[in-house]
Homo-oligomer: A and B are copies of this chain.
Amino acid sequence: MMKTIQFPKKEDWGELLKRPTRTFKDIETTVDDIFKNIQQGGDQAVLKYTSMFDGVDLKSFEVSAEEIDQAQSQVSDPLKSAIQLAKSNIHKFHEAQKTEPVKVETQPGVTCWQAKKPIQKVGLYIPGGTAPLFSTILMLAVPAKIAGCSEIVLCTPPDKLGKINPVTLYTAQLCGIDKVFKVGGIQAIGAMTFGTETIPKVYKIFGPGNQYVTVAKQVATTFDVAIDMPAGPSELLVVADETANPEFVASDLLSQAEHGFDSQVVLVSTDEPMIDKVKVAIENQLKELPRKEMAAKAIENSKFVLVKDQSSALELIDFYGPEHFIISTKNDDYYVENINNAGSVFIGKYTPESAGDYASGTNHTLPTNGYAKQYSGVNLDSFNKAITYQKITEEGIRNIGEAVELMAEAEGLQAHKNAMTLRRNEVENK
């Protein structure tokens, strides 16, 4: 296991860095079926699926004020402080992403501008289970609030007792989300797509999930709902040279590996002894991990790639387009300045991925599966849309009127031309 690939040829990169493909056709049928029933049956259908998949018969999805109060007392003070610190940093970084309207007079009398407006209704999906991803609430709710989304709905699955993890409830309340529903899986995505008597329909759905949630989100896009981005297994690529700390590198690779069997872990190095040292460190650290089976399996599928110099390293990394990209070399700036395809970049030995996963301020909802080539991670604009405006005066009509007529005519659109001709005539006859 943990074989090093030495100086791979460019034509082999595709095969070498292939991501696991997942076929979803069978799940799609299930999703279609559940969606149809939710569209028709509303709350009752959602309750039925909650009983079926989560093993609990609920009377109501809504989290009560009492449950929220209880949650407050069940979360330790140090954890509350940690969550507040993380929230504050995430707020600072996303608040700074606000933009002023862009206004340009393109020609005298022709004023064009662009302004961002919040997506009014958004839905956040937070997976449940024994390790609830409350950090994802911060990553989604904080920018949604800054953008000014007026309706924020959160769905998360109940446990077998019909409860939500208290840290999840605490974090939701801290973020000012007052619509929390105990609904998970395909039925949660369906409920937010169509709306039910209790759960509002939203315009865009955010958040991670298992393969069922992933497919449900894909299907939701065929029903006038947008999603944050297509999802795939999480992945990390580290570039390290002889100056890196092999223990740190090993810990970063393992922190990715513990996410799941299909996590992608890649080490690229210009230094063969460093690769060997990292492998030894992985073996040692792995023994101590509670999720060691999962991590060991992911490490088995991981790639250790030796390249001849930093430019080969960069080219290979850009080809891969990692979700998380850690740089630990003597020349970090080279990679920072030249990388084109990555979700989030972690620079230097004191910047582990876990810092960005929780508390530094950057968002952890990032493009996987090579989507960093064309998608941004979640950011403030994920909760906005840009609207353009224009206002033309008589002078503006004089300046662009003829051009519009000529182009409309050349495209064979006579009514488009006529709309301008009528204005031109009035302006000329004044």
Query: What is A's interface to B at a CB cutoff of 8 Å?
Result: 78-79, 81-83, 85-86, 88-89, 92-93, 96-97, 99, 102-104, 106-107, 110, 112, 114, 117-120, 130-135, 167, 203-204, 218, 221-222, 224-226, 230, 245, 247-248, 251-252, 254-255, 257-259, 285, 288-291, 295, 336, 339-363, 367, 369-377, 379, 381, 384-394, 396-397, 400, 402-404, 406-408, 410-420, 422-423, 426-427
Question: Beyond A112-B362, A360-B396: 12 further Cβ-contacts under 8 Å?
Answer: A93-B114, A254-B418, A257-B415, A290-B414, A344-B389, A345-B388, A346-B390, A350-B396, A353-B419, A372-B387, A375-B385, A379-B386
Expressed in whole angstroms, the minimum distance between the Cβ of A246 and any Cβ of chain B is: 11
Q: Chain B residues with Cβ under 8 A from A357's Cβ?
A: 404, 408, 416
Give Cα A341 to B407, complex, Å. Answer: 29
Q: Chain B residues with Cβ under 8 A from A343's Cβ?
A: 387-388
Q: Is the CB of B388 within 8 A of A355?
A: no
A-B contact pairs, 13 of them (CB 8 A): A114-B362, A117-B341, A224-B371, A248-B423, A254-B419, A344-B389, A352-B404, A352-B420, A354-B416, A355-B390, A355-B404, A361-B390, A377-B387
Q: Is the CB of B110 within 8 A of A361?
A: yes
Identity of the chain B residue whose Cβ is nearest the Cβ of A366 in the assembled complex: B388
Copies in the assembly, this chain? 2
Give Cα A415 to B293, complex, Å. Answer: 12
Question: 6 tightest CB-CB pairs across the interface, nearest first?
Answer: A131-B412, A106-B361, A82-B403, A89-B106, A376-B386, A352-B419
Q: Is the CB of B226 within 8 A of A374?
A: yes
Q: Chain B residues with Cβ under 8 A from A222's Cβ?
A: 218
| With contact pairs A102-B97, A415-B289 given, residues A350 and B397 touching in the complex (Cβ less than 8 Å) | yes
Q: Is the CB of B120 within 8 A of A419?
A: no
Which of B89, B110, B350, B404 sits near A423, CB closer than 8 Å?
Answer: B350
Q: Chain B residues with Cβ under 8 A from A376's Cβ?
A: 384-387
| With contact pairs A106-B92, A285-B418, A374-B203 given, residues A344 and B392 touching in the complex (Cβ less than 8 Å) | no
